[in-house]
């Protein structure tokens, strides 16, 4: 085993939910303001999921006050506390870059209904 592989395997999180591009997720991340640390939630649609292993990252997009905001998170970062899946989306692409040009109802993604 390579030393780098061992270190990256140590830092990976065990329990990440199953989600794909097009799903709506809530990411709870730790934010430091001043001397205090708090947890901040960011909810949006997963537009990109790339990388593998400890360097895997996701990009989440949401519209806040009429302005599109995209934020990238490293999945296995210690700053990311947890991830929750809100909705499952039905998409046919792995990268949803076209969403940045859509506005309003055109930017919606069909939701996959699940039996409970």
Bridge partners of 59?
48, 72
**Domain map of the chain by residue range?**
3-100
Query: Which residues make Cβ contacts (< 8 Å) with residue 63, sequence separation at least 6?
Result: 69, 107
* Residue 94, both tokens: 């792995």
pTM metric for this prediction: 0.85
Give per-residue pLDDT as tens, 7-36. Answer: 878 888 888 899 999 999 999 999 999 999
Closest among 5, 9, 85 to 45, alpha carbons compared: 85
CA atoms within 13 A on the CB side of 6: 3
CATH architecture of 3-100: Roll (2.30)
Confidence of residue 116 (pLDDT cuts 50, 70, 90): low
Give the DSSP H/E element, type plus range, for residue 24: strand 24-33
Give per-residue pLDDT as tens, 52-79. Answer: 888 899 999 999 898 889 999 999 999 9
């Amino acid at each position: 085993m390579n030393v780098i592989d061992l270190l990256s395997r140590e830092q990976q999180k065990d329990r990440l939910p199953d989600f794909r591009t097009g799903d709506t997720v809530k990411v709870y991340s730790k934010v430091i303001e001043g001397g205090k640390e708090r947890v901040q939630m960011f909810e949006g649609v997963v537009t990109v999921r790339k990388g593998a292993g400890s360097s895997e990252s996701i990009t989440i997009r949401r519209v806040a006050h009429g302005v599109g905001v995209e934020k990238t998170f490293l999945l296995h970062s210690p700053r990311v506390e947890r991830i929750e899946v809100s909705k499952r989306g039905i998409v046919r692409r792995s990268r949803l870059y076209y969403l940045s040009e859509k506005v309003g109802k055109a930017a919606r993604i069909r939701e996959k209904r699940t039996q409970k």
